[in-house]
Amino acid sequence: MHHIAALCLLSALSLQAQIQYIESRKIFLLTTSKNSYAMGLGQDGALRHLYWGAPIWRADDLAAAPARRDISSFDPRQMLEAEEFPGWGGPRYYEPALKLSREDGVRDLVLRYTSHSIQQNNLDIVLKDINDGVEVTLHYHIYPEHGILRRSATLRNGTSRALTVESAQSATWNLPPGEGYQLTYLTGRWAAETQLNHEPVHEGQKVIESRRGNTSHNFNPWFAIDAGDAAEEHGSVWFGALGWSGNWRIAVEQTPYRQVRVTGGMNSFDFSYPLKPGESLDTPPFYGGYSSGGFGAASRMLHRFTREQILPGGATSRVRPVLYNSWEATTFAVNEQGQKDLATKAAKLGIEMFVMDDGWFGARNNDRAGLGDWTVNPKKFPQGLKGLIDHVHSLKMDFGLWVEPEMVNANSNLYRAHPDWVINFPGRPRSELRTQMVLNLARSDVKEYIFDVLDKLATENDIRYFKWDMNRSFTEPGWPEVAATEQRKLWVQYVRNVYEIIDRLRAKHPNLEIESCSGGGARVDLGILQRVDEVWPSDNTDAFDRLRIQEGFSQAYPAKIMSAWVTDVPNMNTRSTPLAFRFLAAMQGALGIGSNLNKFSEQDSALATSMIGVYKRIRATVQTGELYRLASPRTNDVTVNQYVSGDGKQAVVFALRHAQQYNTAAPTIRLRGLDERAIYKLESINNKLVEHQQQFSGAYLMNAGINVNLRGDFDATALILERN
Ligand code: DGJ
């Protein structure tokens, strides 16, 4: 009874006052439906972290920010305190959230509270240096239903002299004091992205980052930390994800004083950002959350949040169409007739969007020429794009086009006309990767040029979708046209200008959708996701490899944005998997086909048509439902994922067996997220169910479970459950 009363009060409070400030004790308490976050002001005016965890509702329970004492001359009190946004100054030797240098060489920065304002779900806290006008506004925004807190900071030079920012982080997240934490994070490389890692947090720092100019394949800006006892469906998990597509850094630090802090934002490596008097610098958003329901619940929180609050159009955006992409079928050998033939075949299978990939422009017959020359190749497309687009439309499909606007080949008209437009250090080599260089989008003239190119393409042609690719990282990151002291702003300005181009394009062409691709998954983060509809997670389309890539991807990102193609075998691993297995792997995201349809047998086409039909029945559940990871490809010989629709009426289970050994039956599948009392009608899309009937209660499905007959290697099924 007591418990119920507390819950009612909590929901009443969380509806009325999600952000509270208790004047008498100088405490801020931010509460969402899933967690609370608290800070307090010390006697000295320092802002200290107090709490991050399951929801609490009574601000009076919180002690005022505790004042500490020095333990020794080597262990000053500042090292023991959990400062909310520490400047680098005084006796602080851990990772700072902000570090700067003034014109006269003074680098000490000690921040104290000056004021705050609360407006609905927003809290701004203004801190100022103890001596001069360096001012930091900490921004907090809570998403009450989603359980997510967004943090960022604005640094303003309120002094009368120039200063240079050396490190500008978005947030420092303090975990409850303790030890034994475990860190979960994503690593990878080209064609092997989003691999899941789980390891103990030790004293010292663990850094995940990008120094490449883009988000990178190597690490993804997401983390989860648990107290050492969490699993997929239980336990406390603290997590965060950065919204920044340039150099970023997340440092997980355990101090000798049983503190664990996560500090993240723009990478301070090769970072230097001068601010004249009155100028300011905004740091990117760092989203954080806490879940008491394990890694699965943490993922589901991020999925829903991203779908509803980050993606363009939010909850109202359409489910992703089934697309065809020409890349693996034709590579650069595209032409009007060849693409028309593929389009005709694609339409028969039920494809809804036809995307022509690389090779349609300039002298682009291989990857050594043509990038930068965004005019249609007249030999390949004598009627311009119109002939192909009209054909695609006549087949009732939308048309999408591949572009790589940030790049140039040395062998291009653009580079011959503007060799100064690429990122470079004068007199130094211009490293070419995939024989291409990076245009300096930080420059306004280059930015405007790229905007005009894309705007013209979208204005002159009926293009529904750009696949926006970026196939290399930065090297020799010089910007010779500006003063040496300003050049490192490139890391930041480049990203801002990419964002600006996309934002302006979308505003001018409201129907245009965009896929973010960077040689696979090197540009997947919550910053780019505010402006694109899908991402390409990996150039590796081997369905077996994909299972692990997708598992890692799903920790942080929703299925709706995860473009997933069925392609031909043998693939890059020289592995062959059956077409049904490839479909069932790809149907767990935004389904696409990348096969050479000219080589499809009648049987292949029939299977593809039927799988695409099934996908259309279940895609809303996959793309916008709740994901339950029932069996991981890392630890089982079957990968099992379940998706439950928002209204609970439909659930879909994918079970993909990698290899059978010792004639062992596939394990029993125990479902989750169903209504115990409800009856569900069960259907296996390819008759793999080993059961005596096809109707079961939710309780039975979740507790006793069901069995599927998966035999041999790469056997797979999907089960569709409809609630009666
Ligand atoms: C890299 C992408 O990831 C591929 O899907 C394809 O678009 C190629 N670039 C084209 O050059």
50 pLDDT above the threshold of 80: yes
Q: What is the pLDDT of residue 65?
A: 76
Q: Which of 310, 327, 360 is the last residue of a domain?
A: 310
Mode of pairing for the β-strands spanning 716-723 and 323-325: unpaired
The predicted pLDDT at position 119 comes to 96
Q: How far, in Å, from the CA of 494 to the mean position of ligand 1?
A: 22
Residue with CA closest to ligand 1 atom 3: 519
Residues near 709 by Cβ (< 8 Å), separated by ≥ 6?
665, 666, 688, 689, 690
pLDDT value at 64 more than 90:
no
The response to whether residue 594 sits with its C-beta less than 6 Å from ligand 1 reads: no
Contact 639, 653 (CB under 8 A): no
Looking at the structure, do residues 7 and 133 belong to the same domain, yes or no? yes
Quick one: average pLDDT of 191-203?
98
* Residues near 129 by beta carbon (within 8 Å), at least 6 away in sequence: 87, 109, 110, 111, 112, 135
- Residue 272 Cα to ligand 1 midpoint, Å, equals 33
Q: Based on the domain organization, do 34 and 159 belong to the same domain?
A: yes
Across 431-485, where does the E strand assignment appear?
436-438, 465-468
Q: Identify whether residues 129 and 97 lie together within a single domain.
A: yes
From ligand 1's centre to the CA of 373, what distance in Å?
A: 17
- Co-location of 23 and 85 in the same domain: yes
Q: Is the model's pLDDT at 13 over the cut of 50? A: no
Q: How confident is the model at residue 6 (pLDDT cuts 50, 70, 90)?
A: very low
Q: What is the structure's pLDDT at 355? A: 98
Mean pLDDT, to the nearest integer, of 25-38? 96
What phi, psi does 256 have (nearest 5°)?
A: -70, 0
DSSP notation for 23-92: TTTTEEEEE-SS-EEEEEE-TTS-EEEEEEES----GGGSPPPPP---SBTTB-HHHHS-BSS-BS-SS-
Closest of 24, 44, 38 to residue 113, by C-alpha: 44
**pLDDT at residue 5, as a whole number:** 40
How confident is the prediction for the chain on average, in pLDDT? 96
As a whole number, mean pLDDT of residues 478-506 equals 98
User: Helix H segments across 160-315?
Assistant: 294-305
CA distances, 111 to each of 108, 180, 226, 403 (Å): 10, 31, 30, 46
Q: Are 2 and 118 in contact (CB under 8 A)?
A: no
Q: Any idea how long the chain is?
A: 724
Residue in this structure with the two tokens 């169903």, named with its chain if needed: 674
Residue 569's alpha-carbon distances to 339, 519, 579, in angstroms, are 21, 20, 9
Omega cis (within 30) before 477: no
Give residue 682's pLDDT band: very low, low, confident or very high (50, 70, 90): very high
Q: Residue 539 CA: which ligand 1 atom is closest?
A: 3
User: Cα of 327 to ligand 1 centre, how many Å?
Assistant: 7
Give the span between the Cα atoms of 493 and 495, in whole angstroms.
5
- Angle 667-611-715 from CA coordinates, rounded to 5°: 30
Strand bridging mode 280-282 / 148-157: antiparallel
Asked if residue 220 and residue 95 are part of one domain, the reply reads yes
Q: Which of 626, 656, 689 is the last residue of a domain?
A: 626
| Mutational pocket test of ligand 1: of 189, 328, 330, 357, the residue with most ligand atoms within 8 Å of the beta carbon | 357
512-535, pLDDT tens digit by residue?
A: 999 999 999 999 999 999 999 999
- pLDDT for res 12: 45
For residues 429 and 505, membership in a common domain is answered with yes
Same domain? For 335 and 481 the reply is yes
Structure tokens that stand for 400 in this block: 């999408």
Q: Which amino acid is at 561?
A: I
Residue 215: band (very low, low, confident or very high) from pLDDT cuts 50, 70, 90 = very high
469 CB near ligand 1 (under 6 Å): yes
Residues 380 and 304 both lie in one domain: no
- In the structure, what pLDDT confidence band is assigned to residue 63 with cuts at 50, 70 and 90? confident
Please say if 715 is a catalytic residue. no
Do residues 505 and 447 lie in contact, with contact meaning Cβ atoms separated by under 8 Å? no
Res 9 pLDDT > 90: no
Q: Is the pLDDT of residue 71 over 50?
A: yes
Residue 512 phi, psi (nearest 5): -70, 135
Strand, helix or coil for residue 14: helix
Cα of 462 vs centre of ligand 1, distance in Å, is 22
Give the position, in ligand 1's atom list, of the atom nearest the Cα of 467.
7
Residues 281 and 348 both lie in one domain: no
Cα of 332 to ligand 1 centre, how many Å? 10
Name the token pair of 472. 């290399």
Contacts of 478 (CB under 8 A, 6+ apart): 423, 424, 425, 426, 428, 487, 490
What CA–CA distance (Å, rounded) separates 623 from 600? 27
Residues of the domain holding 8: 2-69+76-310
Which of 294-322 are b and which e, b meaning 16 or more Cβ less than 10 Å from the residue's Cβ? bbbbbbbbbbbbbbbbbbbeeeeeeebbb
Number of structural domains, the chain?
3
Q: Is 536 in the pocket of ligand 1 (CB under 6 A)?
A: yes
Q: Which atom of ligand 1 is closest in space to residue 517's alpha carbon?
A: 3
Nearest to 563, CA basis, from 553, 573, 572, 555: 553
- 348-388 pLDDT per residue, tens: 999 999 999 999 999 999 999 999 999 999 999 999 999 99
Give the C-alpha separation, 353 to 389, whole Å.
11
Last residue of a domain, one of 604, 626, 648: 626
Would you say 523 and 561 are in contact if contact means Cβ atoms under 8 Å apart? no
Atom of ligand 1 nearest to the CA of 331: 10
Query: Do 205 and 253 form a contact (C-beta atoms < 8 A)?
Result: yes
- Place 624 in a pLDDT band, splitting at 50, 70 and 90: very high
User: 546 vs 539, 561, 635, CA distance in Å?
Assistant: 10, 15, 15
- Within 475-601, where are the H helices? 490-508, 543-556, 579-586
469 is catalytic: yes
Mean pLDDT score, 703-712? 97
CATH number for the domain harbouring residue 647: 2.60.40.1180
Whether residue 471 has its Cβ less than 6 Å from ligand 1: yes
Choosing from 129, 469, 545, 715, the catalytic residue is 469
pLDDT score recorded for residue 83: 96
Tell me which DSSP letter residue 246 carries.
S
Q: What is the identity of the amino acid at 492? A: V
pLDDT at residue 691, as a whole number? 86
- Going by alpha carbons, the residue nearest to atom 2 of ligand 1 is 519
Same domain, 44 and 173: yes
Same domain, 609 and 648: no
Q: Parallel, antiparallel, or unpaired: how do β-strands 563-566 and 590-593 relate?
A: parallel
CA-wise closest residue to 537 among 297, 351, 554, 287 = 554
- CATH number, domain of 467, equals 3.20.20.70
- In a mutational test of the pocket of ligand 1, which residue from 214, 536, 540 has the highest number of ligand atoms less than 8 Å from its CB? 536
Percent of the chain with pLDDT over 90: 96
**Candidates 373, 539, 542, 568; catalytic one:** 539
**Which atom from ligand 1 is nearest to the alpha carbon of 367?**
11
Residue 471 CA: distances (Å) to CA of 145, 167, 408, 448: 38, 28, 11, 21
Q: Counting atoms of ligand 1 from 1, which one is nearest the CA of 402?
A: 7
- Report how far residue 623's alpha carbon sits from residue 621's, in angstroms, rounded to the nearest whole number: 6
CATH number at residue 282: 2.70.98.60
Structure tokens of 594?
């990348």
Question: 700 with 599, same domain?
Answer: no
Does the C-beta of 216 come closer than 6 Å to ligand 1? no
